[in-house]
Structure 1
């Protein structure tokens, strides 16, 4: 468990909705650090809920250390703990940035085992029946702050060339190449999800908190599946950006991603 207190979202769908809305307003600066929050009755009117619901949401925010409840004067937004600036990744050149991120951040190995691949993983990697995979879960940190939860699945014949100690100190792409794998291409998808209890504990966030979800299948030059990655990123610590330019003739003008050194900051 890291230095950040982990709590569970308040009971009740309405209280959770209010909690998440208020937390987002604090993160974006709409509710500034040190400012006095609206009274419970006013918040109830704004969000169309009861004062009991508002109280549950405020209690959860206080437990998270985001507000300070002061008797007789209401709730004050607490200053956010000093941390590293969010890591930025450009959508148009995300893969090399993620590789570089592996070299410039640290990792903590949570679990390591060999066994049969889950059906969805076996299908994605196109593994023959009975093929075992190495499953490793790591948390990646920047300045001791956890920002991503990574679970990788690698066929046993490849993974046998490195061990737990290697995974804790070396980016997986380097370990694959060291094992003789010629990485050729990858397909990945990005979506949003909510933090399950184990992921929330590892990242030091609330159960049910919003996360960026990334799934990636990596293949070698022969088309063989060599890695499946399931990754979750804290949106307050990692963001995706994209630079666009307007191109085409007058009749068919459209937006196009800018790919190259000017596309955005590396991660």
Structure 2
């Protein structure tokens, strides 16, 4: 794990563009561990910038532990400091895998409070105006490396059945069921966003880094909203995989997600 919580970007818009491009290629595996980068002149031509700009970007990558520069041997991509692998999530078995992830990882509680539900939460959960909710923010870690930043909103009358300590040590879905909630369904969406200063510090990534953004509303058997989750995930530690199948005939033939295919049981 990197020793600095928030990594600094190089000065200058052009240097940041070069830095972020190389950073994403390293994080995504396009530039593999031990691979030698092109020289400064070649990089300058590739990105259409000066060698001074390239040098600033490379200096920042070096300081952040992503590359190693040695005289006579060039600039090489360093092994990931945390040595970790991405958590691969197949859409066919996404929820069971998330449950298992909750058992095998640890959580650090950052904040815990009660207050009125924000408008976007109240609308998504179909809560009455000024309804009180418990608001908790946690960071989940795998082998002491943070990979997700989770903020949950739960109606206060449900949340009063468990403590702050419970939330720090037990997956929320278990606490909801222990509180008597009969969960029936959930709707979630996945998009992308950028890491702000607080989230970047909590996840040990650069400010402005791309993150996976997951929003989920959980409902009980009566259709009541019992949880709103806003989750942010490091893409270098987490990915979603989706099997696809070719369907239809002729000119209308296209790809569709093969959700549910190959599953056994419930």
Q: TM-score, normalization: structure 2?
A: 0.89
Q: Alpha-carbon deviation of 1:262?
A: 4.0
* SS at structure 2 position matched to 1:22: helix
Q: For the aligned residues, what is the CA RMSD?
A: 2.2
Change (3 A) 1:35 1:87: closer
Contact 1:133–1:155 under 8 Å retained in 2: yes
Give the number of equivalent residue pairs.
Answer: 262
Q: Which runs of 4+ in 1 moved over 6 A?
A: none
Which residue pairs with 1:197 in the alignment? 197
Which residue pairs with 2:96 in the alignment? 96
* SS at structure 2 position matched to 1:101: helix
Contact 1:87–1:237 under 8 Å retained in 2: yes
* SS at structure 2 position matched to 1:229: strand
> 1:122-153: CA deviations, max 9, x gaps?
22112212211111011111111111110001
Distance 2:253 2:37 in 1: 46
Matched, 1:165 2:179: no
Matches for 1:51-66 after TM superposition, within 5 Å? 51-66=51-66
Could you tell me which runs of 5 or more consecutive residues in structure 2 were left unpaired when the two chains were aligned: none
Change (3 A) 1:248 1:73: closer
Distance 2:166 2:123 in 1: 27
Q: Alpha-carbon deviation of 1:261?
A: 7.4
Could you tell me which runs of 5 or more consecutive residues in structure 1 were left unpaired when the two chains were aligned: none
Q: Alpha-carbon deviation of 1:9?
A: 2.2
Matched, 1:110 2:110: yes
Q: Alpha-carbon deviation of 1:249?
A: 5.6
Matches for 1:141-152 after TM superposition, within 5 Å? 141-152=141-152
Which residue pairs with 2:155 in the alignment? 155
Contact 1:4–1:205 under 8 Å retained in 2: no
* SS at structure 2 position matched to 1:207: coil
Which residue pairs with 2:133 in the alignment? 133
Change (3 A) 1:162 1:3: farther
